[in-house]
Structure 1
Amino acid sequence: MLDWTEIILRLGVATFAGGLIGLNRDLQGKPIGLKTLSLVSLATAMLLVLVHSDEVRIVSDAGSRVVQGILTGIGFLGAGVIVHAGRDFRVRGLTSAACTWLAACIGIVCGLGQWRLVFIALVITFAVLTVGGRIERWLHKRLGGKDEAGQDPPPDSFSDK
Structure 2
Amino acid sequence: MNFDVWGEVDLVLRLLAGMTAGIVVGWERTIKQRAAGIRTFGLVGLGTAAAATIFSEPHEADAASRVVQGLLTGIGFLGAGVIVLRKGDEAPRGLTTAAAVWVTAALGCAAGLGDHAIVLSATALAILLLAINHSVERWAGRDAG
Q: Report how far residue 59 of structure 1 moved.
A: 6.4
Cα-Cα RMSD? 2.3
- Code of the aligned partner of 1:114: D
Task: Give the distance between the partners of 2:143 and 2:139, measured in 1 at CA.
Answer: 14
- Unaligned ranges ≥5, structure 1: 1-56, 149-161
**1:112 is the counterpart of 2:121:** no
Aligned counterpart, 1:88:
88
**1:77 is the counterpart of 2:78:** yes
Q: What TM-score, normalized to structure 2?
A: 0.52
Q: Report how far residue 69 of structure 1 moved.
A: 1.2
| Deviations 1:8-42 (CA, angstroms, capped at 9, x unpaired) | xxxxxxxxxxxxxxxxxxxxxxxxxxxxxxxxxxx
Q: Is the 8 A contact 2:138 2:144 kept in 1?
A: no
| Deviations 1:29-71 (CA, angstroms, capped at 9, x unpaired) | xxxxxxxxxxxxxxxxxxxxxxxxxxxx786111111111111
Q: What is the percentage of aligned positions where both structures have the same residue?
A: 44
Greater helix share, structure number: 2
**1:103 is the counterpart of 2:104:** yes
Q: Is the 8 A contact 2:110 2:119 kept in 1?
A: yes
Aligned counterpart, 2:49:
none
Task: Give the distance between the partners of 2:103 and 2:70, measured in 1 at CA.
Answer: 15
Return closer, same or farther for 1:139/1:79 CA change in 2, 3 Å cut-off: same
Task: Give the distance between the partners of 2:137 and 2:118, measured in 1 at CA.
Answer: 26
SS, match of residue 60 in structure 1: helix
Q: Is the 8 A contact 2:79 2:99 kept in 1?
A: yes
Q: Is the 8 A contact 2:68 2:109 kept in 1?
A: yes
Task: Give the distance between the partners of 2:73 and 2:139, measured in 1 at CA.
Answer: 34
Q: Is the 8 A contact 2:111 2:119 kept in 1?
A: yes
- Unaligned ranges ≥5, structure 2: 1-57
Task: Give the distance between the partners of 1:58 and 1:116, measured in 2 at CA.
Answer: 22
Task: Give the distance between the partners of 1:94 and 1:59, measured in 2 at CA.
Answer: 34
Q: What TM-score, normalized to structure 1?
A: 0.47
Q: Give runs of aligned pairs for residues 10-159 of structure 1, distance below 5 A.
A: 60-82=61-83, 84-88=84-88, 90-131=91-132, 133-140=134-141, 145-146=142-143
Return closer, same or farther for 1:76/1:58 CA change in 2, 3 Å cut-off: farther
Q: Report how far residue 139 of structure 1 moved.
A: 1.7
Q: Is the 8 A contact 1:58 1:112 kept in 2?
A: no
Aligned counterpart, 1:50:
none
